[in-house]
């Protein structure tokens, strides 16, 4: 068993004997250790006296900086006034994020109106001591006033031919406010970008270079979406290397280049690990080879925690191929990562084994909010990063000490804008003899005043990290920088704030953490606790982390040769005629039999319904409190049991339904969430009757109880989640259940029912009938004991069921139907194309397009349609269609040959009536695969029927025809999901109000509704409601009862007498009678 490393021992050099491979194993095992114990050990390794002295020095430095405030750059004064802790600062960030890349004037004006008019700019007037900041505030007030007038006089933005906004501020044909704001946003961008081209950047940097200042250039542009993008980024890096080399001076402190691995390959993710070592590694190796020839150092930027292991593998591969003996190849390490120390240990050992120095840029980390959200969404056990800034600062100082004292193979580069951190680093370095070599780094546009002042007393070199690129490429980088600059806990944010004392600002992180007993931030609960104490989040598995993935795959392999069986499970005593077994074949290969299924004989339906009715009545007559607690306990136990059987159930979802491993994990988690959520709803709706206000002398109560026997008919596309969700809801409301799974996925359902019975759910409350939906349904719909039907499937089948129920003899029963949708995504020109394409790929082609919520028609504003289609077409070429058991597979098979033939027929129709604009690599011949495709259409004729698979329709619209588009979508009759991509909140709100759908998602994909967070269900042809996983769902399974008791019938109204002494008769009056 692998020994658990202790952070303080790492810092003190106790593990110097570990090999590279041993360090890597520890990195794999230290994804998310307990934060409190990890930080306490880190703190023990940091010299507290040196850090305390650094706090005093930093406080003095802050006093001195504030005394020289008149030299403060205008931008820093502006950001001090409009920090991101204010609504006004956030508004400016939104404008900066979108305004420069919106191609059409109409949409730019609409965004300005929406953002400028809803905040109070006047509160900033005269607040700054800068004349120019106050002048800028006056300009913002004027712009907001014009925007407000425009909105007040134009209720329908789509009908304006020339707005009051345009008339009031028109200037030479262009609105003054728009021009002024665009210029302001360009200036804001220029604050963080050193030049639009590498030549311009080198020229601008040349004016700042000295014996203490040099640059590391970063070619702007985030993750590549297509192979063409990756090639373009590689070429820009190559050109930058050549230009940097040509400009170098022989002064011993040369410029360098920073590279993002995500820019060099469109699929930089763990699932593509084998091909990345070759493809991305090859591209990077070529750049490193060129850099070495030119003697220009390269540093790999750090990215998300999911990519850490992958980045280390690629770094090692390229380092051993191209960089041995050079010393110019390095990488960034993030101190907010709990794995930072072992990563430094690994890098040091790699350097020592090859006798080659490695440059290490130590940063604090820039993806904090993304990391937290991903872990919470995935239901992971913990976070790979620290939840308190003080803990990140302690980690940074511990890493610093390790770098200075025990990593002879590494060349440290300390990137920070925090005066306390700067002073602590120099104190630790000065205490060592000889003093180690190191440099500081800062971002272009940040920390300039700090380091300029620092250089009046110290001589450490500073490298400026300087982005290069056009304004349109600035967005992701700018947002991160603004968030860092404006975060409430940021040193930079408070540096010039006189309301924050320098001693408070520079207080030792050791003291801050100790005061809180090194506890994690309670405002950031663990992923399992995000729903509060009443409901535990379902447990997830991060397939990007090798240890978690290998444990799951090892468990799944144990089930690879298992043969499952699905047979009727009933509470009846007699046995009817048995039907023949049917083999169950995996949809991705005819060579794999998953098990056998025996269908229920519909002739026996009456006995099953009678047994269910008897079970319902038996439990209905028990004390409500007891029955409620039993049902709640069953569901909670079922949730835990499903998680305990996770490997088996995930394997079954892959083999029988053809789902990818990630989809199967999500499926299991949703089933668990349904159980826990509905268990909690028992307490909300059934624990106590509702007291109703009425006349005195009566007790009036409304309460809920079960209806009787429910037939739950579930689909094949969510064979576990929806199957369990229907059952759990019906049971929670006090009913008995007849569960009828989809014919194609009976094995998964059977196993779930077996587990349910094992945790104690009685057979007469949960019976299982695999078989023909038509035959079982027809028999059950006419049974007198039927109390309700819950159905998920096509709208055509739902209509047939509704007709049969309407014609049945006996009581009318409720019918809950959740059907499909002709789901749209509307994208205006404020949207970020790269984000749109990522969401389109997931929404349209995830689960092979076999989700009710899946994207069917992408509606693009014509101003950005060409660019989005270009990106989407290239991104589709990177999709992997094939074996769902493979981690690299993005799209698995459709459920069966019938579905496959139906989809291929529609594709043939599209070939004749539409234009193919995107296609994934050809799907395998064996199995029921359909190659994902995208077709551009000119009208909605192709959308009259839902096509349940990986087929995307694309439709262009103009900004002025948005109302027509809304009407066209509504005319389809479906109403399930809608995604809106727009940075304009007014536009998003207008679309949401206009289109009648059940679930609207803004600036994200439209699939993966979370139980209790995004209750799911539609309207029109998409279903009856209420929403599954929502607070009203259980009530549809229950019947309402009212109880009225005449409390005064036994001799007086005691409650009334107790509540009003004036009504009590005087004793003398009583005796006188």
DSSP of 447-491, one letter per residue? SHHHHHHHTTT----EEEEEEES-GGG-HHHHHHHHHHHH-TT-H
Show the tokens assigned to 42: 């880190």
Distances (CA, A) of 887 to 754, 847, 890: 29, 14, 8
Under a CB-based contact definition with an 8 Å cutoff, are residues 948 and 850 in contact?
yes
Distances (CA, A) of 187 to 241, 333, 802: 27, 31, 62
Give the model's pLDDT for residue 717. Answer: 97
pLDDT > 80? residue 52: yes
Determine what percent of the chain is predicted with pLDDT higher than 70. 90
pLDDT > 60? residue 285: yes
Query: How far apart are the C-alpha atoms of 494 and 505, rounded to whole Å?
Result: 7
How does residue 188 score in pLDDT terms, banded at 50, 70 and 90?
low
Bridge partners, 410 (sequence order): 358
With H, G, I as helix, E, B as strand and everything else as coil, classify residue 765: coil
Distances (CA, A) of 165 to 78, 182, 582: 26, 16, 70
Strand 951-957 vs strand 933-937: parallel, antiparallel, or unpaired?
Answer: parallel
Query: How far apart are the C-alpha atoms of 81 and 58, rounded to whole Å?
Result: 23
Give the model's pLDDT for residue 247. Answer: 92
Please identify which residue in the block is written with the tokens 């030479």.
Answer: 172
φ, ψ at 701 (rounded to 5°)? -135, 145
20 is catalytic: no
pLDDT > 80? residue 855: yes
Distances (CA, A) of 338 to 5, 51, 299, 381, 631: 12, 21, 21, 14, 42
Among 484, 818, 878, 946, which one carries the catalytic annotation? 818
How does residue 101 score in pLDDT terms, banded at 50, 70 and 90?
confident
How does residue 145 score in pLDDT terms, banded at 50, 70 and 90?
low
Show the tokens assigned to 992: 């949401």
Please tell me which residue, 103 or 59, carries the higher pLDDT value. 59
Under a CB-based contact definition with an 8 Å cutoff, are residues 215 and 442 in contact?
no
Give the model's pLDDT for residue 403. Answer: 98
- What's the rounded mean pLDDT across residues 665-677? 98
When mean pLDDT is compared over 113-122, 159-168, 476-485, the highest value belongs to 113-122
Instruction: List CB contacts of 993: < 8 A, sequence separation 6 or more.
Output: none
Under a CB-based contact definition with an 8 Å cutoff, are residues 498 and 504 in contact?
no
How does residue 253 score in pLDDT terms, banded at 50, 70 and 90?
confident
Give the model's pLDDT for residue 137. Answer: 75
Report all structural domains of the chain as residue ranges with CATH numbers, in order of start.
7-72+194-468+496-515 (3.20.20.220), 74-189 (no CATH), 546-806 (3.40.605.10), 823-1034 (3.40.309.10), 1045-1072 (no CATH)
Neighbours of 557 (CB within 10 A): 12
How does residue 351 score in pLDDT terms, banded at 50, 70 and 90?
very high
What separation, in Å, do the N-terminal and C-terminal C-alpha atoms of the chain show?
A: 94
Q: Is the link from the previous residue into 1026 a cis peptide, with omega within 30 of 0?
A: yes
Bridge partners, 661 (sequence order): none
pTM of the model: 0.93
pLDDT > 80? residue 1064: no
497-517 pLDDT, tens per residue?
888 999 999 999 999 999 999
DSSP of 801-831, one letter per residue? HHHHHHH-SS----EEEE----EEEEE-TTS
Torsion angle of C-alpha atoms 369, 374, 379, 382, degrees rounded to 10? -50
740-794 pLDDT, tens per residue?
999 999 999 999 999 999 999 999 999 999 999 999 999 999 999 999 999 999 9
Q: Is the link from the previous residue into 971 a cis peptide, with omega within 30 of 0?
A: no
Bridge partners, 798 (sequence order): none
Strands (E), 961-1037: 977-981, 999-1002
- What's the rounded mean pLDDT across residues 337-346? 98
646-657 helix and 624-644 helix, angle to the nearest 10 degrees: 70
Query: How far apart are the C-alpha atoms of 1028 and 1018, rounded to whole Å?
Result: 10
Under a CB-based contact definition with an 8 Å cutoff, are residues 275 and 890 in contact?
no
- What's the rounded mean pLDDT across residues 695-704? 93
Give the model's pLDDT for residue 153. Answer: 47
pLDDT > 90? residue 970: yes
Among 214, 712, 852, 859, which one carries the catalytic annotation? 852
Give the model's pLDDT for residue 178. Answer: 64
H-state helical runs in 193-272 = 198-206, 227-247
Show the tokens assigned to 504: 């408070």
* Consecutive H or E run containing 22: helix 20-29
pLDDT > 70? residue 395: yes
Under a CB-based contact definition with an 8 Å cutoff, are residues 248 and 254 in contact?
yes
Strand 593-598 vs strand 690-692: parallel, antiparallel, or unpaired?
Answer: unpaired
Sheet holding 1038-1046, edge to edge: 690-692, 698-706, 1038-1046
With H, G, I as helix, E, B as strand and everything else as coil, classify residue 50: helix
pLDDT > 80? residue 162: no
Distances (CA, A) of 121 to 183, 357, 662: 19, 53, 47
φ, ψ at 414 (rounded to 5°)? -100, 110
Q: Which of 23, 28, 4 is nearest to 546 (CA)?
A: 28
Neighbours of 28 (CB within 10 A): 18
Query: How far apart are the C-alpha atoms of 854 and 844, rounded to whole Å?
Result: 5
pLDDT > 70? residue 159: no
With H, G, I as helix, E, B as strand and everything else as coil, classify residue 659: coil
Query: How far apart are the C-alpha atoms of 875 and 30, rounded to whole Å?
Result: 33
Instruction: List CB contacts of 451: < 8 A, sequence separation 6 or more.
Output: 440, 442, 462
Under a CB-based contact definition with an 8 Å cutoff, are residues 726 and 714 in contact?
yes
549-604 pLDDT, tens per residue?
999 999 999 999 999 999 999 999 776 677 889 999 999 999 999 999 999 999 99
Q: Could you tell me how many residues make up the chain?
A: 1073
For the chain, how are helix, strand and coil distributed in percent, rounded to 5?
Answer: 50, 15, 35
Q: Is 224 left (phi over 0), alpha (psi -120 to 50) or beta?
A: beta
Query: How far apart are the C-alpha atoms of 942 and 950, rounded to whole Å?
Result: 15
Show the tokens assigned to 470: 């056009």
- What's the rounded mean pLDDT across residues 633-660? 98
Query: How far apart are the C-alpha atoms of 398 and 389, rounded to whole Å?
Result: 14
Query: How far apart are the C-alpha atoms of 833 and 225, rounded to whole Å?
Result: 10
* C-alpha 131: how far from chain center: 43
Under a CB-based contact definition with an 8 Å cutoff, are residues 346 and 27 in contact?
yes
Q: Which of 182, 506, 511, 463 is nearest to 330 (CA)?
A: 463
Over its C-alpha atoms, the chain yields an Rg (Å, rounded) of 33
- What's the rounded mean pLDDT across residues 91-119? 79
Bridge partners, 596 (sequence order): 565, 583
Show the tokens assigned to 952: 């995307």
Give the model's pLDDT for residue 146. Answer: 59
Show the tokens assigned to 913: 């009536």
Instruction: List CB contacts of 966: < 8 A, sequence separation 6 or more.
Output: 991, 994, 995
852 is catalytic: yes
Q: Is the dihedral of CA 35, 37, 43, 45 positive or negative?
A: negative
Give the model's pLDDT for residue 168. Answer: 40
How does residue 631 score in pLDDT terms, banded at 50, 70 and 90?
very high
74-81 helix and 176-192 helix, angle to the nearest 10 degrees: 110
Distances (CA, A) of 823 to 542, 837, 875, 939, 975: 29, 16, 21, 15, 7
Give the model's pLDDT for residue 77. Answer: 72
Q: Which of 1018, 1025, 1026 is nearest to 946 (CA)?
A: 1018
Q: Which of 953, 933, 996 is nearest to 859 (CA)?
A: 953
How does residue 182 score in pLDDT terms, banded at 50, 70 and 90?
low
With H, G, I as helix, E, B as strand and everything else as coil, classify residue 881: strand
Give the model's pLDDT for residue 988. Answer: 96
Under a CB-based contact definition with an 8 Å cutoff, are residues 729 and 739 in contact?
no
Give the model's pLDDT for residue 968. Answer: 96
């Amino acid at each position: 068993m692998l020994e658990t490393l202790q952070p303080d021992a790492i810092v003190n050099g106790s593990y110097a004997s570990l090999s590279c491979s041993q360090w890597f194993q520890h990195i794999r095992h230290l994804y998310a250790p307990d934060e409190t114990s990890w930080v306490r050990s880190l703190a023990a390794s940091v010299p507290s006296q040196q850090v305390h002295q650094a706090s005093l020095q930093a406080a003095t430095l802050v006093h001195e900086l504030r005394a020289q405030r008149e030299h403060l750059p205008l931008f820093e004064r502006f950001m001090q006034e409009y920090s991101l802790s204010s609504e006004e600062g956030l508004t400016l960030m939104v404008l900066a994020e979108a305004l420069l890349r919106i191609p059409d004037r109409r949409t730019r004006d609409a965004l300005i109106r929406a953002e400028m008019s809803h905040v109070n700019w006047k509160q900033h007037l005269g607040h700054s001591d800068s004349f120019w900041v106050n002048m800028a505030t006056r300009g913002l007030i004027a712009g907001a006033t014009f925007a407000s007038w425009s909105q007040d006089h134009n209720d329908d933005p789509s009908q304006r031919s020339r707005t009051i906004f345009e008339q009031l501020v028109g200037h030479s044909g262009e609105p003054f406010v728009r021009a002024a704001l665009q210029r302001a946003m360009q200036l804001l961008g220029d604050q963080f970008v050193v030049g639009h081209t590498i030549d311009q950047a080198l020229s601008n940097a040349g004016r700042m270079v000295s014996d203490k200042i040099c640059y590391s250039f970063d070619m702007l542009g985030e993750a590549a979406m297509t192979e063409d993008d990756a090639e373009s980024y590689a070429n820009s890096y190559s050109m930058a290397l050549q230009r940097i080399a040509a400009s170098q001076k022989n002064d011993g402190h040369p410029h360098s280049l920073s590279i993002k691995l995500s820019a060099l390959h469109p699929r930089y993710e763990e699932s593509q690990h084998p091909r990345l070592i070759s493809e991305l590694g090859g591209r990077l190796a070529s750049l490193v080879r060129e850099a070495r020839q030119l003697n220009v150092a390269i540093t790999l930027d750090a990215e998300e925690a999911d990519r850490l292991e992958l980045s280390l593998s690629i770094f090692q591969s390229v380092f051993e191929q191209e960089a041995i003996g050079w010393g110019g190849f390095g990488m960034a390490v993030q101190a907010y990562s709990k794995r930072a120390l072992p990563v430094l240990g690994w890098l040091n050992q790699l350097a020592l084994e090859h006798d080659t120095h490695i440059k290490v840029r130590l940063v604090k980390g820039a993806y904090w909010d993304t990391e937290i959200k991903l872990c919470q969404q995935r239901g992971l056990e913990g976070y790979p990063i620290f939840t308190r800034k003080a803990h990140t600062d302690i980690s940074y100082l511990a890493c610093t000490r390790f770098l200075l004292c025990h990593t002879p193979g590494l060349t440290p580069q300390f990137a920070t804008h925090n005066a306390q951190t700067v002073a602590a680093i120099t104190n630790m370095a000065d205490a060592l003899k000889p003093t180690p070599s190191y440099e500081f780094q800062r971002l272009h546009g940040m920390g300039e005043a700090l380091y300029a002042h620092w250089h009046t007393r110290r001589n450490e070199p500073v490298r400026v990290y300087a982005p290069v690129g056009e304004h349109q490429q600035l967005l992701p980088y700018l947002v991160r920088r603004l968030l860092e600059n404006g975060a409430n806990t940021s040193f930079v944010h408070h540096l010039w704030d006189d309301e924050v004392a320098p001693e408070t600002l520079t207080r030792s992180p050791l003291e801050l953490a100790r005061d809180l007993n090194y506890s994690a931030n309670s405002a950031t609960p663990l992923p399992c606790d995000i729903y509060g104490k009443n409901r535990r989040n379902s447990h997830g598995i991060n397939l990007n982390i090798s240890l978690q993935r290998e444990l799951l795959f090892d468990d799944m392999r144990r089930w690879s040769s298992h043969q499952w069986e699905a047979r009727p499970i009933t509470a009846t005593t007699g046995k009817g005629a048995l039907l023949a077994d049917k083999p169950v074949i995996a949809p991705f290969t005819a060579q794999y039999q998953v098990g056998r299924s025996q269908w229920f004989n519909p002739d026996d339906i009456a006995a099953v319904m009678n047994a269910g009715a008897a079970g319902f009545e038996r439990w209905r007559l028990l004390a409500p409190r007891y029955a409620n607690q039993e049902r709640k306990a069953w569901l909670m136990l079922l949730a835990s049991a499903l998680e305990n059987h996770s490997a088996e159930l995930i394997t079954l979802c892959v083999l029988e339904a053809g789902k990818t491993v990630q989809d199967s994990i999500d499926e299991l988690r949703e089933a668990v969430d349904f159980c826990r959520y509905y268990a909690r709803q028992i307490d909300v709706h059934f624990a106590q009757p509702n007291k109703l206000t009425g006349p005195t002398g009566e007790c009036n109560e409304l309460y809920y109880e079960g209806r009787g026997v429910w037939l739950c008919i579930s689909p094949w596309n969510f064979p576990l989640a929806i199957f369990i969700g229907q059952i759990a809801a019906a049971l929670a409301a006090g009913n008995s259940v007849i569960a009828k799974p989809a014919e194609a996925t009976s094995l998964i359902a059977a196993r779930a029912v077996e587990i349910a019975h094992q945790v104690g759910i009685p057979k007469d409350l949960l019976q299982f009938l695999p078989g023909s939906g038509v035959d079982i349904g027809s028999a059950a719909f006419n049974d007198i004991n039927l109390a309700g039907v819950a159905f998920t499937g096509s709208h055509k089948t739902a209509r047939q069921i509704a007709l049969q129920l309407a014609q049945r003899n006996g009581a009318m029963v409720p019918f809950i139907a959740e059907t499909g949708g002709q789901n749209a995504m509307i994208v205006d020109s404020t949207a970020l194309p790269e984000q749109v394409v990522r969401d389109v790929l997931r929404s349209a082609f995830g689960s092979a397009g076999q989700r009710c919520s899946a994207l069917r028609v992408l509606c693009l504003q014509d101003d950005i349609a060409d660019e989005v289609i270009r990106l989407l077409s290239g991104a589709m070429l990177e999709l992997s269609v094939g074996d769902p058991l493979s981690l690299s597979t993005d799209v698995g098979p459709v459920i069966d040959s019938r579905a496959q033939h139906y989809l291929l027929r529609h594709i043939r129709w599209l070939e004749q009536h539409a234009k193919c604009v995107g296609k994934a690599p050809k799907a395998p011949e064996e199995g029921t695969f359909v190659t994902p495709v995208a077709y551009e259409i000119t009208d909605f004729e192709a959308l009259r029927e839902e096509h349940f698979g990986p087929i995307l329709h694309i439709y262009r619209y103009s900004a002025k025809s948005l109302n027509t588009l809304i009407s066209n979508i509504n005319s389809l009759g479906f109403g399930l999901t809608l995604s809106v991509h727009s940075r304009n909140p007014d536009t998003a709100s207008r679309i949401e109000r206009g289109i009648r759908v059940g679930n609207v998602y803004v600036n994200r994909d439209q699939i993966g509704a979370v139980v209790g967070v995004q209750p799911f269900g539609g309207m029109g042809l998409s279903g009856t409601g209420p929403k599954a996983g929502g607070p009203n769902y259980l009530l549809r399974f229950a019947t309402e009862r009212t109880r009225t008791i005449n409390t005064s019938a036994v001799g007086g109204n005691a409650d009334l007498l107790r509540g009003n002494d004036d009504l009590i008769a005087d004793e003398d009056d009583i005796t006188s009678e």
